[in-house]
Amino acid sequence: MDLLLSGARELNISLTERHLTCLEVYYHELTAWNQRFNLTAITDWEGVLVRHFLDSLSCLKAISRQALEAGARVIDVGTGAGFPGLPLKIVCPGMQLVLLEATHKKTTFLEHVVRQLELRDVQVIHGRAEELGQSPSHRERYDWVVARAVIEFPPLAEYLLPLARIGGAALAQKGEGAAVEVHASEEAIQKLGGRVRYLVPVELRGLAETRYLVVMDKVAATPEKYPRRSGMPKKHPLV
């Protein structure tokens, strides 16, 4: 666990024995289930520690740990095998977490891991951001909307911002092209009620590339027509 401990310290995060135990159990469940289902391409111990666990915890460079511990409502959109939501929940157990995932086998895995780790205030939802963003019980209800993004802006902003409450924020984990993407999408982000606050660079031990946390404040209500129906944000991105 030395790599995890030292990597966390570089992010100014202190991990307890309980945190380490939970993350180790998480790793073993992930790799065991991955033999039956394709949950992740990264399964080696060091790869999971850095590219999944530390990468998820790097969100705490932009999100107040105290706010999460005080019961902040967080939704992880397109969480996959639980990243970044579950590592954040393990380290900040006071947060209220929703894990949104469109692939059924992944939601089955997530429900299993939540039970194994005995995590409270975690809801796993099998669904899509376009649907949840139009649901009264979820639309503009969250303090933080997070995603480890594999799609580009502005479709990503259309998935995330409708779920954030006014005064809340959205955080997208992006790669080295983040600044160019965001600059080209600022008008679309504004249409959705958002405003780019800043980009936080993240350097992780063992990774050559710089990662970025893109933080968008929710400053106005999202127009009712957004998000559009499933598939539309990608097919016809906002300009």
pLDDT at 147: 98
Mean pLDDT of 162-173: 98
In this predicted model, what pLDDT tens digit does every residue of 120-160 receive, in sequence order? 999 999 999 999 999 999 999 999 999 997 799 999 999 99
Query: pTM of this prediction?
Result: 0.96
pLDDT at 1: 80
pLDDT at 150: 79
> For residue 207, is pLDDT > 90?
no
Phi and psi torsions of 223, nearest 5°: -55, 145
Structure token digits, residue 36: 């039956």
In this predicted model, what pLDDT tens digit does every residue of 25-64 receive, in sequence order? 999 999 999 999 989 999 999 999 999 999 999 999 999 9
Terminal C-alpha separation, the chain: 45
Is the Cβ–Cβ distance between 54 and 8 less than 8 Å?
yes
- Mean residue pLDDT of the chain comes to 96
pLDDT class of 238 with cuts at 50, 70, 90: very high
> For residue 9, is pLDDT > 90?
yes
State the Cα torsion 146-41-237-169 to the nearest 10°. 10
Domains of the chain: 2-235 (3.40.50.150)
pLDDT at 149: 79
In this predicted model, what pLDDT tens digit does every residue of 89-103 receive, in sequence order? 999 999 999 999 999
> For residue 205, is pLDDT > 90?
no
What are the C-alpha distances in Å from 119 to residues 60, 109, 165, 194? Answer: 19, 14, 25, 31
> For residue 73, is pLDDT > 90?
yes
In this predicted model, what pLDDT tens digit does every residue of 183-195 receive, in sequence order? 999 999 999 999 9
pLDDT at 33: 96
